[in-house]
Amino acid sequence: MRPKILIARAIFPDVIERLSQVFEVESNQEDRVFSVTELRQKIADKDGLFITGSERLSAEVISAAPRLKAICNMAVGYNNIDVEAATGAGVMVTNTPDVLNATTADFAWALLMATARRITESEHWLRAGHWEKWTYDGLLGADIHDSTLGIIGMGRIGQAIARRSMGFDMQVIYHNRSRLSPEQEARANHARYVSKEDLLRQADHVVLVLPYSPQSHHTIGAAELALMKPSATLVNIARGGIVDDVALIAALKAHRIAAAGLDVFENEPAFHPDFLGLSNVVLTPHIGSASEPTRRAMANCAADNLIAALGGAVPPNLVNTSLRTGT
């Protein structure tokens, strides 16, 4: 009998076709968002799961799937999965690293540029019919070139963002759990390691690219925002919860910092409604990896992991590596 899998959300039909060659597939091309109860019911007889970052695989959900061997996330972040509970149940967890590095780094720049140069605010103003004449001080923004870029979270995406700053003649400072090697720092536009506080004080543009965990919860709150320059911008492409959104809204309202660019939010997609009333924030709906080739690569990467895991091999992107010996 072929292993049974659930593909929890709509994905590329050719990837479903690929998985159907080896598995008995239950798909969800109507893209319904399952409640916890529905998810528990649907996974009760499954050997493997293909999920996205939007599905919450808590210990309670995982416990409803006694046959489960693998949870394959179509995302690099996996804070939506209780990895400890999965490991305890002997369930492999995989993610999709690397394939999205360049696309996500490009997107960080798109958001940074839009935020610093007030692109979306300008467009709203123009569309609203306000453009009657040129003014010397209309919609002035911050410069990117020759400024200081501060990156918090200097993994593969952070380093790709830093490399892209070379063309803008920027200084790069970074903060990370661990320091890069001198060679990595040199490749990342000679990035300089500093404390989080020094980074916040010195950077003209702060970009957040760190994984979410209980330790990184509210890495940026009122105290951190108070350290930033009033002219600085803040970009979050990492995860909701890394920024205290209520504190950020207060700082943006008070012009404590100049502007923010946000692709991720606490409680997304039900983000804090006060963001909508602010002109100094650029808002996008968690689309950092959303280019056609990259989303395809992510879907195929998750499929590769699932095929390997249920085929008795070590999946290429195993997160809970302690299970490796058991496969």
- The residues that are catalytic are 239, 268, 286
Contact 91, 68 (CB under 8 A): yes
> Which residue, 76 or 112, is less far from ligand GLV as judged by CB?
76
Contact 111, 104 (CB under 8 A): no
Segment holding 240, helix H or strand E: none
Contact 306, 93 (CB under 8 A): no
Cα distances (Å, whole numbers) of residue 76 to 62, 94, 272, 295: 20, 9, 25, 12
Query: In this chain, which of 75, 173, 191, 242 binds ligand GLV, going by CB under 6 A?
Result: 75
Check residue 53 for interaction with ligand GLV (CB under 6 A): yes
Per-residue x/- track, 93-132, ligand GLV (CB under 6 A) = -------x--------------------------------
Check residue 242 for interaction with ligand GLV (CB under 6 A): no
Q: How far is the CB of 240 from ligand GLV (least distance, A)?
A: 10
Q: How far is the CB of 132 from ligand GLV (least distance, A)?
A: 41
What gap in Å lies between CA 96 and CA 70, rounded to an integer? 14
Query: In this chain, which of 115, 159, 236, 289 binds ligand GLV, going by CB under 6 A?
Result: 289
Site size toward ligand GLV, by CB under 6 A = 7
Q: How far is the CB of 180 from ligand GLV (least distance, A)?
A: 21
Q: How far is the CB of 138 from ligand GLV (least distance, A)?
A: 35
- Characterise 153 by phi-psi region: left (phi > 0), alpha (psi -120 to 50), beta (else): left
> Which residue, 202 or 289, is less far from ligand GLV as judged by CB?
289
3-state helix, strand, coil in the chain (%, to 5): 40, 15, 45
What gap in Å lies between CA 91 and CA 245, rounded to an integer? 34
Radius of gyration of the chain (CA): 21
Q: How far is the CB of 141 from ligand GLV (least distance, A)?
A: 27
* N-to-C CA span, the chain: 20
Picking from 265, 259, 261, the residue whose alpha carbon sits closest to that of residue 246 is 265
Which residue stretch of 24-32, 74-82, 154-162, 163-171 sits at the interface with ligand GLV (rule: CB under 6 A)? 74-82
Segment holding 40, helix H or strand E: helix 36-43
Beta pairing class for 192-193 and 233-236: unpaired
Query: In this chain, which of 76, 111, 116, 200 binds ligand GLV, going by CB under 6 A?
Result: 76
Picking from 134, 48, 132, the residue whose alpha carbon sits closest to that of residue 86 is 48
Segment holding 317, helix H or strand E: none
Check residue 150 for interaction with ligand GLV (CB under 6 A): no
Check residue 152 for interaction with ligand GLV (CB under 6 A): no
φ, ψ for residue 107, nearest 5 deg: -65, -35
Q: For residue 192, list its beta bridge partners.
A: 173
> Which residue, 155 or 221, is less far from ligand GLV as judged by CB?
155
Which residue stretch of 42-50, 72-80, 226-234, 247-255 sits at the interface with ligand GLV (rule: CB under 6 A)? 72-80
> Which residue, 73 or 202, is less far from ligand GLV as judged by CB?
73
Q: How far is the CB of 59 from ligand GLV (least distance, A)?
A: 21
Check residue 77 for interaction with ligand GLV (CB under 6 A): yes
Q: How far is the CB of 226 from ligand GLV (least distance, A)?
A: 28
Check residue 161 for interaction with ligand GLV (CB under 6 A): no
Give the footprint of ligand GLV on this chain (CB under 6 A). 53, 75-77, 100, 288-289
